[in-house]
Structures are given as structure tokens and as C-alpha cells.
Amino acid sequence: MIFLSCSKDKAEPETIAENYVCHIQAVQNNYSRIQLIQSFDENIIQGIASKNVPDTNGAMSRNRDGYFHVRFQMGISLQADLAVYNENTQALEYAIKSIEYAFQHQTSNGDFLFVVPPDLSGETPNKADLASGVSFFLSSLGLALNTLDQSNWYNSQSMSGYKNRIEILRPNIESAALWLLTKDQILEMADENAPNRLLFNALAFYSLGRWLDNSELKATGINFANNAISKKHPDGYFLEANGWDSSYQGVGIHVGFNLYSLLPDTEILQTALWDCLSCATDWQKSRILASGEISTQGNIRVYPGGEEFLGNEKRVAWVDTMTGFFVMAYLTNDSSYSAKANEIKEFYD
């Protein structure tokens, strides 16, 4: 069993009736990270954050039953989004408490403890699993830190107590980022056929490189992003192994848009990443049924009887597709994407 990634034997992709070729749209609204967050309806931002509330210790997801790994602290960025959206001090407390909880489990070399829960006793992760788990966490942390830094409210004198709690952890955050940098080749090999994870790596390195003002981290993030872009089929879907997957397509789009929202206009990657994401989002729209359900026909990873994670069959990551569609609508003024996003929400929520 691979602890922090997946998996199960992959199915052969099925042939579908139509071969959809994607179209690329132009950016109409060159929003900053804060402007993009403010474009959402409050009920969407609030609803997503409400699914990722930590306990009183700051533990999220599987860590709530006892610390497992920092991989499960990925809701930090969602709390940060809500915090800056409506100057929500409770959400900010959730975000910072969750960060503090994670770093309570950091080792002296910058890595994080891994504690096997009783129901998985006897299982051990490999080096790639552990590196990917840290990358997932740091992608959420780095995004949150950049989001907060762009907020005038967060940077005001009245919020200095919260900001100081983050600054105290700056050496720990840098240590974690530099530890992950030593694992970049492991991640490149392990994730070469999983573009969504390449984008998580890109976001982890680039976001923390920007926050820490570290050019090597940023350059590594750009390298991972370019690797992910190279994995997009001309029709528009990301090549997961040797086929497509409408669940992980949504994940890749969402993570890719998060990275895009941090790129300055001077960054050469910006145009290539936009063209990739615009095409990929258009292809994903062709997977949405009239009911709002995301079709899994032909998926190579997530489908009935497909991959499992921690003993449970994976479900379609509909929140990622919904969020990605809203972002596409806000950046292009194409209301067909927000309409599809609402249909998805209505079907699954």
C-alpha cells in the first residue's frame, strides 16, 4: 500500500463516442490573488472552508483522530481564503492554529514525523510517499502565506499578534522548504506520470520561494510546472499514466489556477500555464453531464472499482472542478463556466 498517494491497479481507458478538442480563451481579468478570492460568492468560500475546520489543537482531516502526517493539514489555504475574504478572525485563527500544529511535529532536519495509525499498523510508506505528503502540505501552507501577505487587513497593526505567530515560525517554514528541495529528484521520478502532483510540487516550491524570497525554490517550482504542462494531451486532458481522469483533471486545474494566481506579469511561465489551464478546463467541461455529475467514463484512476486511498475507494473530486470552473468564469467573463460550477454544486452538495 502506498500511504500518502494511492493506489490500486489502473484500468484501461475506455473509448468514448466523441473526441473533444479543447479551445483556449484569452484572459479578460488579470486579477491578483486577493481580487480573485473576492470574486467568489461568500457561500462558496464559506462552504469550502467549513469542510476543513480544525479541532481545538489545530488538527485537520485524518490528524483529528491522532497525528498521522502533515499531508492531512491541507485545509490551511481554505481558511486563509475565508479570513481575507471577509476579515474573519476565526478563520485566521483556524489557519494559524493549524500551521502551529503541523510544526509541532517537525523534525530537526526540516522533515515531519509520520505516525502509523492503529488501523494501518504494519504498513510503511516509501521515501516518495513522505516527500509527496510534505509537498501537499507545503503547497497549502505556501498558498495561504501568500494570500495573507497580499491582504491589507492582515498586514494592519491591529492584526500584528496573528502575524507575529507566523513570523516566529519563519525559520521552521524555511527549513521545511529546504528539506523538500533535497527531495526534488525523488518527486520528479515518482510524480512523472501524475501531472496533478507535479502541480502540487510546483505550487509548494514556488509559493514558498516567493514568500521566503528564495530564487532556487521559485525556479524549482517553475520546473515542476513546465513538467506538468508537458503532460497535457493536445485534446486538453492531462495524461494521468496513459489516459485521462476527470477527477484528477479537476484537481490539476484547481491547483494550477492557484499557482497562476501567484505569478507576476513578468514571469514567462504565466502565458504557457494559462494556455494549458484554459485548454484543460475546456476539456473538463466536456465531461460534465446534463445533471451536473462529472462523468468517469474512460477514467484511468477514479471510477467505480478504481483506486483506493487508506482503504476507501476514491470519489470524484468535485469541489476542485467546481472551484476551477468558477475561477475560469471570473478570469474570462465566460458565464458558461459558472453555470456548470453551480450545476456541479447542486448535484453533489
What integer pLDDT is reported at residue 124 of this predicted model? Answer: 78
DSSP state of 65: G
Provide CB contacts within 8 A for 178, sequence distance 6+.
Answer: 110
Architecture of domain 33-348: Alpha/alpha barrel (1.50)
- Encode pLDDT of 50-91 as tens digits: 999 999 999 999 999 999 999 999 999 999 999 999 999 999
The secondary structure of residue 308, as a DSSP letter, is E
> Which residues have C-beta within 8 Å of that of residue 132, sequence separation ≥ 6?
4, 5, 71, 187, 190, 191, 197, 200
User: Given a cut of 60, is residue 13 above it in pLDDT?
Assistant: no
pLDDT digit string, tens, across residues 124-163: 788 999 999 999 999 999 999 999 999 999 999 999 999 9
Which residue ranges make up each domain of the chain?
33-348
Q: What is the pLDDT of residues 109-131, one digit of tens each?
A: 999 999 988 877 777 788 999 99
Percentage of the chain beyond pLDDT 70 is 93
Q: How does pLDDT run across 189-198, given as a tens digit for each residue? A: 999 999 999 9
Return the C-alpha torsion angle 206, 210, 214, 220, nearest 10.
10
Of the pLDDT bands very low, low, confident and very high (cuts 50, 70, 90), residue 18 is low
Mean pLDDT for all residues in the chain: 92
Does residue 232 sit in helix, strand or coil? strand
Q: Which residues contact 298 (CB under 8 A, 6 or more apart)?
A: 13, 14, 15, 16, 243, 244
What is the C-alpha end-to-end distance of the chain, expressed in Å? 30
259-317 pLDDT tens trace: 999 999 999 999 999 999 999 999 999 999 999 999 999 888 876 776 767 767 788 99
Can you give the pLDDT at residue 307? Answer: 76
Q: Which three cell numbers stand for residue 265?
A: 506579469
Provide the whole-model pTM.
0.93
DSSP helix/strand/coil, 240: strand
Task: Look at the block and give the residue holding cell 475560469.
Answer: 328
Q: Which of 61, 68, 56 is nearest to 94 (CA)?
A: 56
